[in-house]
A and B are shown apart, each in its own frame.
Chain A
Protein backbone atom coordinates (compact mmCIF):
# COMPACT_ATOMS: atom_id res chain seq x y z
CA UNK A 1 0.00 0.00 0.00
CA UNK A 2 1.43 3.34 -1.04
CA UNK A 3 0.81 5.92 1.75
CA UNK A 4 2.35 8.75 -0.22
CA UNK A 5 -0.19 11.55 -0.71
CA UNK A 6 1.08 13.67 -3.56
CA UNK A 7 0.46 17.39 -3.46
CA UNK A 8 -0.90 18.41 -6.85
CA UNK A 9 -1.72 21.88 -8.10
CA UNK A 10 -4.27 22.18 -10.91
CA UNK A 11 -4.58 25.41 -12.87
CA UNK A 12 -8.14 25.40 -14.21
CA UNK A 13 -9.70 27.59 -16.85
CA UNK A 14 -12.82 29.38 -15.59
CA UNK A 15 -14.65 28.82 -18.84
CA UNK A 16 -14.36 25.07 -19.22
CA UNK A 17 -12.53 23.20 -16.46
CA UNK A 18 -14.17 25.12 -13.63
CA UNK A 19 -17.57 24.66 -15.25
CA UNK A 20 -16.78 20.97 -15.49
CA UNK A 21 -15.94 21.07 -11.77
CA UNK A 22 -19.40 22.49 -11.04
CA UNK A 23 -20.99 19.76 -13.12
CA UNK A 24 -18.93 17.21 -11.19
CA UNK A 25 -20.15 18.71 -7.92
CA UNK A 26 -23.73 18.39 -9.15
CA UNK A 27 -23.00 14.74 -9.92
CA UNK A 28 -21.72 14.33 -6.33
CA UNK A 29 -18.31 13.45 -7.68
CA UNK A 30 -15.58 14.82 -5.49
CA UNK A 31 -12.00 15.65 -6.28
CA UNK A 32 -9.23 13.94 -4.34
CA UNK A 33 -8.19 16.12 -1.35
CA UNK A 34 -4.60 16.31 -2.50
CA UNK A 35 -5.50 18.26 -5.64
CA UNK A 36 -5.61 22.02 -5.09
CA UNK A 37 -7.41 24.07 -7.71
CA UNK A 38 -6.23 27.47 -8.87
CA UNK A 39 -8.85 29.05 -11.08
CA UNK A 40 -7.59 31.27 -13.90
CA UNK A 41 -9.58 33.44 -16.35
CA UNK A 42 -7.76 31.77 -19.25
CA UNK A 43 -4.95 29.21 -19.26
CA UNK A 44 -3.11 31.46 -21.72
CA UNK A 45 -2.37 33.73 -18.75
CA UNK A 46 -0.37 31.02 -16.97
CA UNK A 47 3.31 31.82 -17.20
CA UNK A 48 6.27 29.46 -16.91
CA UNK A 49 7.00 30.90 -13.47
CA UNK A 50 3.45 30.09 -12.27
CA UNK A 51 4.07 26.47 -13.25
CA UNK A 52 7.46 26.31 -11.52
CA UNK A 53 6.42 27.94 -8.24
CA UNK A 54 4.36 24.97 -6.99
CA UNK A 55 7.41 22.70 -7.40
CA UNK A 56 9.51 25.27 -5.56
CA UNK A 57 6.94 25.24 -2.74
CA UNK A 58 6.94 21.46 -2.50
CA UNK A 59 4.26 20.24 -4.92
CA UNK A 60 4.81 16.82 -6.48
CA UNK A 61 2.79 17.45 -9.61
CA UNK A 62 1.13 20.24 -11.58
CA UNK A 63 -1.42 20.22 -14.33
CA UNK A 64 -3.29 22.67 -16.48
CA UNK A 65 -6.91 21.94 -17.30
CA UNK A 66 -8.18 24.07 -20.15
CA UNK A 67 -10.44 24.13 -23.15
CA UNK A 68 -10.33 22.14 -26.34
CA UNK A 69 -7.84 23.73 -28.73
CA UNK A 70 -10.60 24.87 -31.10
CA UNK A 71 -12.93 26.28 -28.48
CA UNK A 72 -10.83 28.63 -26.35
CA UNK A 73 -12.83 31.78 -25.65
CA UNK A 74 -9.63 33.78 -26.08
CA UNK A 75 -8.69 31.87 -29.25
CA UNK A 76 -5.31 30.43 -28.32
CA UNK A 77 -5.11 30.29 -24.51
CA UNK A 78 -4.77 26.55 -24.12
CA UNK A 79 -2.32 26.35 -27.06
CA UNK A 80 -0.06 28.88 -25.32
CA UNK A 81 -0.43 27.05 -22.01
CA UNK A 82 0.52 23.75 -23.67
CA UNK A 83 3.72 25.32 -25.03
CA UNK A 84 4.61 26.65 -21.60
CA UNK A 85 3.96 23.24 -20.05
CA UNK A 86 6.34 21.74 -22.63
CA UNK A 87 8.93 24.35 -21.67
CA UNK A 88 8.60 23.48 -17.98
CA UNK A 89 8.94 19.78 -18.84
CA UNK A 90 12.32 20.61 -20.39
CA UNK A 91 13.37 22.57 -17.28
CA UNK A 92 12.37 19.64 -15.06
CA UNK A 93 14.31 17.24 -17.27
CA UNK A 94 17.39 19.41 -16.94
CA UNK A 95 16.97 19.19 -13.18
CA UNK A 96 16.67 15.38 -13.42
CA UNK A 97 13.03 15.57 -12.34
CA UNK A 98 10.49 13.45 -14.24
CA UNK A 99 8.76 15.65 -16.86
CA UNK A 100 5.58 13.59 -16.40
CA UNK A 101 5.00 15.55 -13.20
CA UNK A 102 3.43 18.29 -15.28
CA UNK A 103 0.65 17.82 -17.85
CA UNK A 104 -1.99 19.65 -19.77
CA UNK A 105 -5.55 18.42 -20.33
CA UNK A 106 -8.24 19.59 -22.73
CA UNK A 107 -11.66 19.43 -21.10
CA UNK A 108 -15.29 20.16 -21.98
CA UNK A 109 -17.38 22.40 -19.70
CA UNK A 110 -20.15 19.81 -19.48
CA UNK A 111 -18.03 16.76 -18.69
CA UNK A 112 -17.78 16.75 -14.90
CA UNK A 113 -16.82 13.10 -14.79
CA UNK A 114 -13.78 13.75 -16.98
CA UNK A 115 -12.67 16.61 -14.71
CA UNK A 116 -12.58 14.32 -11.70
CA UNK A 117 -11.02 11.47 -13.68
CA UNK A 118 -8.12 13.72 -14.76
CA UNK A 119 -7.42 14.53 -11.10
CA UNK A 120 -7.52 10.83 -10.17
CA UNK A 121 -5.29 9.83 -13.09
CA UNK A 122 -2.78 12.54 -12.26
CA UNK A 123 -2.76 11.46 -8.62
CA UNK A 124 -2.08 7.84 -9.63
CA UNK A 125 0.70 8.90 -11.97
CA UNK A 126 2.44 11.04 -9.32
CA UNK A 127 2.01 8.30 -6.71
CA UNK A 128 3.90 5.97 -9.02
CA UNK A 129 6.68 8.55 -9.43
CA UNK A 130 6.92 9.26 -5.68
CA UNK A 131 7.85 12.56 -4.05
CA UNK A 132 10.09 15.04 -5.94
CA UNK A 133 12.28 15.94 -3.02
Chain B
Protein backbone atom coordinates (compact mmCIF):
# COMPACT_ATOMS: atom_id res chain seq x y z
CA UNK B 1 0.00 0.00 0.00
CA UNK B 2 0.97 3.66 -0.18
CA UNK B 3 1.89 4.69 3.34
CA UNK B 4 1.30 8.21 4.61
CA UNK B 5 1.30 10.13 7.88
CA UNK B 6 -0.82 13.08 9.01
CA UNK B 7 0.57 16.54 8.50
CA UNK B 8 1.08 18.50 11.73
CA UNK B 9 -2.21 20.12 12.74
CA UNK B 10 -0.63 23.56 12.90
CA UNK B 11 0.45 23.23 9.26
CA UNK B 12 -3.11 22.34 8.22
CA UNK B 13 -4.58 25.17 10.31
CA UNK B 14 -2.21 27.61 8.61
CA UNK B 15 -3.28 26.34 5.18
CA UNK B 16 -6.98 26.92 5.79
CA UNK B 17 -6.89 29.87 8.20
CA UNK B 18 -8.57 32.24 5.75
CA UNK B 19 -11.43 29.93 4.82
CA UNK B 20 -14.83 29.57 6.46
CA UNK B 21 -16.19 26.60 4.52
CA UNK B 22 -13.89 23.61 4.40
CA UNK B 23 -14.47 20.18 2.90
CA UNK B 24 -12.32 17.30 4.14
CA UNK B 25 -12.12 14.37 1.75
CA UNK B 26 -10.85 10.95 2.75
CA UNK B 27 -10.09 7.90 0.65
CA UNK B 28 -11.10 4.30 1.32
CA UNK B 29 -7.95 2.94 -0.33
CA UNK B 30 -4.41 2.65 1.06
CA UNK B 31 -4.72 5.56 3.49
CA UNK B 32 -7.68 3.91 5.20
CA UNK B 33 -5.63 0.76 5.69
CA UNK B 34 -2.71 2.70 7.18
CA UNK B 35 -5.10 4.66 9.41
CA UNK B 36 -4.34 8.11 8.09
CA UNK B 37 -6.97 9.11 5.57
CA UNK B 38 -10.14 7.06 5.91
CA UNK B 39 -13.55 8.17 7.16
CA UNK B 40 -12.40 7.83 10.78
CA UNK B 41 -9.48 10.18 10.23
CA UNK B 42 -11.70 12.58 8.27
CA UNK B 43 -13.88 12.78 11.39
CA UNK B 44 -10.87 13.37 13.66
CA UNK B 45 -9.48 16.16 11.48
CA UNK B 46 -12.91 17.77 11.11
CA UNK B 47 -13.44 17.67 14.87
CA UNK B 48 -9.95 19.14 15.43
CA UNK B 49 -10.67 22.05 13.08
CA UNK B 50 -14.01 22.69 14.80
CA UNK B 51 -12.42 22.67 18.26
CA UNK B 52 -9.77 25.13 17.07
CA UNK B 53 -12.39 27.42 15.57
CA UNK B 54 -14.48 27.30 18.73
CA UNK B 55 -11.46 28.03 20.91
CA UNK B 56 -10.52 31.03 18.80
CA UNK B 57 -14.08 32.32 18.40
CA UNK B 58 -14.06 31.74 14.66
CA UNK B 59 -16.99 30.51 12.61
CA UNK B 60 -16.15 27.62 10.36
CA UNK B 61 -18.23 25.05 8.52
CA UNK B 62 -16.43 21.76 8.10
CA UNK B 63 -17.99 19.04 5.98
CA UNK B 64 -16.78 15.44 5.83
CA UNK B 65 -16.75 13.12 2.85
CA UNK B 66 -14.86 9.91 2.04
CA UNK B 67 -14.52 8.62 -1.50
CA UNK B 68 -14.10 5.01 -2.53
CA UNK B 69 -10.78 6.05 -4.08
CA UNK B 70 -9.37 9.43 -4.97
CA UNK B 71 -7.17 7.99 -7.71
CA UNK B 72 -10.06 7.05 -10.01
CA UNK B 73 -11.99 9.75 -11.90
CA UNK B 74 -15.35 7.99 -11.57
CA UNK B 75 -15.14 8.15 -7.78
CA UNK B 76 -13.78 11.69 -7.75
CA UNK B 77 -16.84 12.72 -9.76
CA UNK B 78 -19.00 11.84 -6.78
CA UNK B 79 -18.32 15.26 -5.24
CA UNK B 80 -18.92 17.33 -8.36
CA UNK B 81 -22.19 18.73 -7.03
CA UNK B 82 -20.84 19.78 -3.64
CA UNK B 83 -17.21 20.81 -4.11
CA UNK B 84 -18.03 24.31 -5.32
CA UNK B 85 -19.88 25.00 -2.08
CA UNK B 86 -16.55 25.04 -0.23
CA UNK B 87 -13.76 27.59 -0.18
CA UNK B 88 -11.09 25.01 0.63
CA UNK B 89 -10.73 21.27 0.21
CA UNK B 90 -8.37 19.20 2.33
CA UNK B 91 -7.58 15.82 0.83
CA UNK B 92 -6.19 13.27 3.23
CA UNK B 93 -5.47 10.73 0.50
CA UNK B 94 -1.90 10.09 -0.65
CA UNK B 95 -0.34 12.69 -2.93
CA UNK B 96 -2.29 11.30 -5.87
CA UNK B 97 -5.67 12.24 -4.38
CA UNK B 98 -5.34 16.02 -4.08
CA UNK B 99 -3.85 16.14 -7.58
CA UNK B 100 -6.75 14.21 -9.07
CA UNK B 101 -9.14 16.57 -7.28
CA UNK B 102 -7.25 19.61 -8.54
CA UNK B 103 -7.26 18.29 -12.10
CA UNK B 104 -10.95 17.40 -12.07
CA UNK B 105 -12.05 20.61 -10.35
CA UNK B 106 -9.69 23.34 -11.62
CA UNK B 107 -11.28 26.16 -9.63
CA UNK B 108 -11.12 24.32 -6.28
CA UNK B 109 -8.46 25.24 -3.69
CA UNK B 110 -7.12 21.83 -2.75
CA UNK B 111 -4.70 21.24 0.14
CA UNK B 112 -2.87 18.04 1.15
CA UNK B 113 -3.64 16.91 4.70
CA UNK B 114 -1.07 14.09 4.84
CA UNK B 115 2.55 13.52 3.92
CA UNK B 116 2.95 10.54 1.60
CA UNK B 117 5.93 8.47 2.73
CA UNK B 118 6.50 5.29 0.72
CA UNK B 119 5.17 2.03 -0.72
CA UNK B 120 5.30 -0.61 1.96
CA UNK B 121 3.39 -2.73 4.40
CA UNK B 122 2.59 -3.13 8.08
CA UNK B 123 5.31 -5.17 9.79
CA UNK B 124 3.46 -4.83 13.10
CA UNK B 125 0.24 -3.12 14.11
CA UNK B 126 1.10 0.57 13.86
CA UNK B 127 4.50 0.05 12.22
CA UNK B 128 5.02 0.29 8.45
CA UNK B 129 8.16 -0.39 6.44
CA UNK B 130 9.20 0.46 2.91
CA UNK B 131 9.33 -2.45 0.48
CA UNK B 132 9.11 -1.07 -3.05
CA UNK B 133 10.80 1.86 -4.78
CA UNK B 134 8.66 1.58 -7.92
CA UNK B 135 11.70 1.19 -10.22
CA UNK B 136 9.54 -0.18 -13.02
CA UNK B 137 11.56 -3.36 -13.59
CA UNK B 138 11.26 -5.75 -10.64
CA UNK B 139 14.39 -7.77 -9.85
CA UNK B 140 13.67 -9.16 -6.37
CA UNK B 141 13.88 -12.77 -7.62
CA UNK B 142 17.64 -12.29 -8.04
CA UNK B 143 17.95 -11.39 -4.35
CA UNK B 144 15.93 -14.01 -2.50
CA UNK B 145 12.69 -12.11 -2.90
CA UNK B 146 14.09 -9.02 -1.19
CA UNK B 147 14.47 -5.62 -2.84
CA UNK B 148 17.87 -4.01 -2.33
CA UNK B 149 16.73 -0.93 -4.24
CA UNK B 150 14.09 -0.07 -1.65
CA UNK B 151 15.80 -1.53 1.38
CA UNK B 152 19.51 -0.81 1.00
CA UNK B 153 20.30 2.79 1.97
CA UNK B 154 22.43 3.08 -1.17
CA UNK B 155 20.19 0.86 -3.36
CA UNK B 156 23.24 -1.30 -4.08
CA UNK B 157 22.70 -4.24 -6.43
CA UNK B 158 26.14 -5.86 -6.14
CA UNK B 159 26.52 -6.67 -2.47
CA UNK B 160 26.99 -4.82 0.81
CA UNK B 161 29.08 -1.71 1.19
CA UNK B 162 31.75 -1.18 3.85
CA UNK B 163 29.12 0.30 6.16
CA UNK B 164 27.56 -3.08 6.94
CA UNK B 165 28.30 -3.80 10.60
CA UNK B 166 27.08 -7.00 12.28
CA UNK B 167 23.92 -7.02 10.18
CA UNK B 168 23.17 -3.34 10.67
CA UNK B 169 23.44 -0.41 8.28
CA UNK B 170 25.86 2.39 9.06
CA UNK B 171 23.06 4.98 8.90
CA UNK B 172 21.44 3.63 12.07
CA UNK B 173 21.63 0.69 14.44
CA UNK B 174 17.86 0.36 13.94
CA UNK B 175 18.22 -0.27 10.21
CA UNK B 176 19.07 -3.76 9.01
CA UNK B 177 21.74 -4.15 6.35
CA UNK B 178 19.49 -5.72 3.74
CA UNK B 179 22.52 -7.24 2.01
CA UNK B 180 23.33 -9.15 5.18
CA UNK B 181 19.77 -10.54 5.08
CA UNK B 182 19.92 -11.28 1.35
CA UNK B 183 23.21 -13.19 1.66
CA UNK B 184 21.99 -15.20 4.66
CA UNK B 185 18.77 -16.10 2.86
CA UNK B 186 20.60 -17.16 -0.30
CA UNK B 187 22.90 -19.34 1.86
CA UNK B 188 19.88 -20.92 3.58
CA UNK B 189 18.40 -21.70 0.17
CA UNK B 190 21.78 -22.97 -1.05
CA UNK B 191 21.72 -20.43 -3.87
CA UNK B 192 24.61 -18.19 -2.89
CA UNK B 193 26.37 -18.89 -6.19
CA UNK B 194 23.50 -17.20 -8.03
CA UNK B 195 24.63 -13.88 -6.62
CA UNK B 196 27.88 -14.34 -8.55
CA UNK B 197 26.12 -14.65 -11.90
CA UNK B 198 26.75 -11.71 -14.22
CA UNK B 199 23.82 -9.34 -14.68
CA UNK B 200 24.01 -6.41 -17.07
CA UNK B 201 23.69 -2.99 -15.44
CA UNK B 202 20.10 -2.20 -14.50
CA UNK B 203 18.34 0.24 -16.77
CA UNK B 204 16.89 3.07 -14.67
CA UNK B 205 14.90 4.48 -17.58
CA UNK B 206 11.84 2.69 -16.22
CA UNK B 207 12.29 4.41 -12.86
CA UNK B 208 11.85 8.10 -12.06
CA UNK B 209 15.12 8.77 -13.87
CA UNK B 210 13.22 8.33 -17.12
CA UNK B 211 10.91 11.23 -16.23
CA UNK B 212 7.21 11.16 -15.24
CA UNK B 213 5.73 7.80 -16.05
CA UNK B 214 2.53 6.71 -17.70
CA UNK B 215 1.20 3.22 -18.24
CA UNK B 216 -1.06 2.45 -21.18
CA UNK B 217 -2.76 -0.93 -21.48
CA UNK B 218 -4.49 -0.94 -24.81
CA UNK B 219 -6.74 -3.88 -23.89
CA UNK B 220 -8.29 -1.73 -21.14
CA UNK B 221 -8.51 1.61 -22.92
CA UNK B 222 -12.10 2.41 -23.91
Q: How far is the CA of A48 from the CA of B43 in the complex (A)?
A: 10
For A94, the chain B residues whose CB sits under 8 A away are 8-10
Number of B interface residues, CB 8 Å? 14
Q: How far is the CA of A53 from the CA of B48 in the complex (A)?
A: 9
Number of A interface residues, CB 8 Å? 15
B55 and A47 contact, CB distance less than 8 A? no
Residue B54 interfacial (CB < 8 Å): yes
B51 and A97 contact, CB distance less than 8 A? yes
A95 and B9 contact, CB distance less than 8 A? yes
Residue B194 interfacial (CB < 8 Å): no
Given contacts A91-B9, A94-B9, contact A52 B48 (CB under 8 A): yes
**Distance from B45 Cβ to chain A, minimum over Cβ atoms (Å):** 10
List residues 50-104 of chain A with CB under 8 A from any CB of chain B: 52-53, 55-56, 58, 91, 94-97
Residue B44 interfacial (CB < 8 Å): yes
Q: How far is the CA of A16 from the CA of B52 in the complex (A)?
A: 34
For B47, the chain A residues whose CB sits under 8 A away are 49, 52-53, 55-56
Q: How far is the CA of A124 from the CA of B47 in the complex (A)?
A: 26
**Per-position contact with A for B87-124: 1 when CB-CB < 8 Å, else 0?**
00000000000000000000000000000000000000
Given contacts A56-B54, A133-B54, contact A95 B48 (CB under 8 A): yes
For A58, the chain B residues whose CB sits under 8 A away are 54
**Distance from A55 Cβ to chain B, minimum over Cβ atoms (Å):** 5
For A38, the chain B residues whose CB sits under 8 A away are none
B51 and A52 contact, CB distance less than 8 A? yes
Given contacts A48-B44, A49-B40, A49-B44, contact A55 B51 (CB under 8 A): yes
Nearest chain-B residue to A47 (Cβ)?
Answer: B40
B50's contact among A47, A56, A91, by CB below 8 Å, is which? Answer: A56
List residues 29-56 of chain A with CB under 8 A from any CB of chain B: 47-49, 52-53, 55-56
Q: How far is the CA of A61 from the CA of B40 in the complex (A)?
A: 22
For B52, the chain A residues whose CB sits under 8 A away are 95
For A133, the chain B residues whose CB sits under 8 A away are 54-55, 57
For B8, the chain A residues whose CB sits under 8 A away are 94
Q: How far is the CA of A96 from the CA of B54 in the complex (A)?
A: 12
**Distance from A77 Cβ to chain B, minimum over Cβ atoms (Å):** 15
Q: How far is the CA of A95 from the CA of B10 in the complex (A)?
A: 7
User: Of B10, B40, B51, which is in contact with the most chain A CB atoms at under 10 Å from its CB?
Assistant: B51
Contacts A52-B51, A95-B55, A97-B51 supplied; 8 other A-B pairs, CB < 8 Å: A47-B40, A49-B40, A49-B47, A56-B50, A56-B54, A91-B48, A97-B55, A133-B57
Listed in ascending order, the chain B residues whose CB lies under 8 Å from chain A are: 8-10, 40, 43-44, 47-48, 50-52, 54-55, 57
Sample 26 A-B pairs with CB under 8 A, ordered by A number.
A48-B44, A49-B43, A49-B44, A49-B47, A52-B44, A52-B47, A52-B51, A53-B47, A55-B47, A55-B51, A56-B47, A56-B50, A56-B51, A56-B54, A58-B54, A91-B9, A91-B44, A94-B8, A94-B9, A95-B9, A95-B48, A95-B52, A95-B55, A97-B51, A132-B55, A133-B54
